[in-house]
Chain A
Amino acid sequence: MTLAEKKPLIEVKDLKEYFMINTETLGLVGESGCGKTTVGRTILHLYKPTGGEIRYDGRLIKTKSDIKEFRKKATMVFQDPYSSLNPRMTVADIIGEPLDVHKLYASKQERQERILELMGYVGLNSEHAARYAHEFSGGQRQRIGIARSLAVNPDFIVCDEPVSALDVSIQAQVINMFDELQDKLGLTYLFIAHDLLVVRHISDRIAVMYLGKMVELAPAAEIYDRPLHPYSKSLLSAVPVPDPKVARANQRIALTGDIPSPLNAPSGCPFRTRCKYATDQCAESMPEFKEVSTDHFVACHRLAEIN
Chain B
Amino acid sequence: MKKKFSFHVDLDSFIPATDAEKEYLVQMRPSSTFFKDGVKRLYKNKVAFVSFIVIALITLSSILIPLFWPYSYEQQLGVQPGKPVDSSYKNLSPFEYGKTEQEMIDDGESVFPHIFGTDKQGRDYFIRVIYGTRVSLAVGFFASIIVLVIGMLIGSISGYFGGKVDMIIMRFVDVIYSLPDMLMVILLSAVLKQSLDLTGTFLESIGSNIISLFIVFALLYWVGMARLVRGQILSLREQEYVLSAKATGAKGRWVIKKHLIPNCISVIIISAALQIPSAIFTESYLSFLGLGVDAPMPSLGSLASDALNGISSYPYRLVIPAIMISLIVLSLNLFGDGLRDAFDPKLND
A binding-site residues for B, Cβ under 8 Å:
44, 46, 67-68, 71-72, 75-76, 78-80, 83-89, 97-98, 101-102, 130-132, 135, 145, 148, 152
- Asked if B247 and A46 make an inter-chain contact with CB atoms under 8 angstroms apart, the answer reads yes
- Asked if A75 and B248 make an inter-chain contact with CB atoms under 8 angstroms apart, the answer reads yes
User: How many angstroms from the CA of A85 to the CA of B244 in the assembled complex?
Assistant: 9
Q: Which residue of A lies closest to B28 (CB)?
A: A127
Interface of A is mostly: loop
| B258 close to chain A: CB less than 8 A | yes
- Asked if A80 and B240 make an inter-chain contact with CB atoms under 8 angstroms apart, the answer reads yes
User: How many angstroms from the CA of A302 to the CA of B319 in the assembled complex?
Assistant: 94
Q: Which residue of B lies closest to A131 (CB)?
A: B31
A contact residues around B258 at 8 Å (CB): 86, 89, 97
| B33 close to chain A: CB less than 8 A | yes
User: How many angstroms from the CA of A132 to the CA of B35 in the assembled complex?
Assistant: 12
B binding-site residues for A, Cβ under 8 Å:
29, 31, 33-34, 239-241, 243-250, 254, 258-259, 262-263
A88-B263 CB under 8 A given contacts A46-B246, A71-B249, A83-B240: yes
- Asked if A88 and B34 make an inter-chain contact with CB atoms under 8 angstroms apart, the answer reads yes
User: How many angstroms from the CA of A132 to the CA of B239 in the assembled complex?
Assistant: 17
User: How many angstroms from the CA of A135 to the CA of B33 in the assembled complex?
Assistant: 10
A contact residues around B254 at 8 Å (CB): 101
User: How many angstroms from the CA of A88 to the CA of B242 in the assembled complex?
Assistant: 13
- Asked if A135 and B243 make an inter-chain contact with CB atoms under 8 angstroms apart, the answer reads no
- Asked if A97 and B248 make an inter-chain contact with CB atoms under 8 angstroms apart, the answer reads yes
Q: Which of A85, A86, A98 lies in contact with B248, CB distance below 8 A?
A: A98
- Asked if B245 and A97 make an inter-chain contact with CB atoms under 8 angstroms apart, the answer reads yes
B contact residues around A102 at 8 Å (CB): 248-249
A contact residues around B239 at 8 Å (CB): 83
A84-B240 CB under 8 A given contacts A71-B249, A97-B248, A101-B254: yes
A contact residues around B29 at 8 Å (CB): 135
- Asked if A87 and B247 make an inter-chain contact with CB atoms under 8 angstroms apart, the answer reads no
Q: Which residue of A lies closest to B245 (CB)?
A: A97
A86-B259 CB under 8 A given contacts A78-B240, A131-B31, A132-B33: yes
A contact residues around B33 at 8 Å (CB): 132
Q: Which residue of B lies closest to A74 (CB)?
A: B247
- Asked if A78 and B249 make an inter-chain contact with CB atoms under 8 angstroms apart, the answer reads no
- Minimum-distance CB pairs A-B, first 8: A71-B249, A84-B240, A88-B262, A86-B241, A83-B240, A98-B248, A76-B247, A101-B250
- Asked if A78 and B244 make an inter-chain contact with CB atoms under 8 angstroms apart, the answer reads yes
- Asked if A75 and B240 make an inter-chain contact with CB atoms under 8 angstroms apart, the answer reads no
B contact residues around A75 at 8 Å (CB): 247-248
Q: Which residue of A lies closest to B243 (CB)?
A: A46
A contact residues around B244 at 8 Å (CB): 76, 78, 84, 145, 148
Q: Which of A68, A71, A83, A98 lies in contact with B241, CB distance below 8 A?
A: A83
Q: How far is the CB of A154 from chain B (nearest CB, A)?
A: 10
Q: Which residue of B lies closest to A135 (CB)?
A: B31
Among B29, B248, B250, residue most surrounded by chain A Cβ atoms (within 10 Å): B248
Q: Which residue of B lies closest to A44 (CB)?
A: B247
- Asked if A101 and B263 make an inter-chain contact with CB atoms under 8 angstroms apart, the answer reads no
User: How many angstroms from the CA of A68 to the CA of B248 in the assembled complex?
Assistant: 9
